[in-house]
């Protein structure tokens, strides 16, 4: 545990000096339909340049979708890793794990910004590696939080972008 504490504290110090004011997480949910029993949608992940990385489509039992994310908040902004997608009727702890959908060679392609320095890219890659290794281990660090955002009342065939505030809050914004 001390090892992780040391490594994550070091990453936090270095990233706090960077300008991480990134609000678009590259995560979009497009809803297809919703009734009293099921909800159907596709979640897609995009590079900062708008290229599709991957997507996942399905219908769930239930009437709302929940997206759980790991959110790291720094002085200059937040880094958000979508973790799992589930409905209000999914069993606790289940859902579609999302890390692999935006992973390119161990790097979260949703953060493939050309203006990141080599060091910043390595720090983001390390954070992502820790998040993938153990999402729940991160709960012991004050600047890492598991946060869930819901889509309840939505219109069919509408896109919602996952937005990250500089304060670490996340929400869906209609596209």
Give the residue extent of every domain in the chain: 2-174
Task: Give this prediction's pTM.
Answer: 0.90
Write out pLDDT tens, residues 101-160.
Answer: 999 999 999 999 988 889 989 999 998 988 888 777 666 666 788 899 999 877 888 999
Residue that is written with structure tokens 């794990």 in the block = 97
Calpha distance 81→68 (Å, rounded): 9
Asked whether the beta carbons of 40 and 98 are under 8 A apart, the reply is no
Write out pLDDT tens, residues 93-111.
Answer: 789 999 999 999 999 999 9
- Token output for 127: 């954070």
């Amino acid at each position: 545990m001390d090892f992780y504490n040391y490594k994550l504290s070091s990453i936090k110090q270095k990233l706090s000096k960077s300008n991480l004011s990134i609000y678009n997480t590259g995560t979009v949910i497009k809803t297809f339909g919703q009734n009293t029993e099921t909800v159907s949608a596709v979640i897609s992940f995009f590079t900062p340049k708008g290229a599709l990385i991957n997507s996942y489509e399905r219908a769930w039992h239930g009437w709302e979708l929940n997206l759980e994310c790991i959110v790291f908040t720094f002085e200059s902004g937040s880094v958000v890793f979508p973790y799992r997608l589930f409905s209000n009727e999914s069993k606790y702890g289940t859902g579609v794990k999302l890390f692999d959908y935006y992973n390119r060679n161990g790097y979260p392609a949703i953060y493939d910004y050309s203006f990141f320095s080599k060091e910043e890219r390595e720090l983001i890659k390390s954070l992502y590696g820790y998040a993938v290794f153990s999402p729940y281990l991160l709960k012991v660090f004050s600047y890492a939080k598991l946060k869930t955002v819901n889509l309840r009342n939505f219109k069919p065939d509408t896109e919602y972008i996952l937005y990250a505030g500089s304060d670490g809050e996340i929400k869906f914004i209609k596209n």
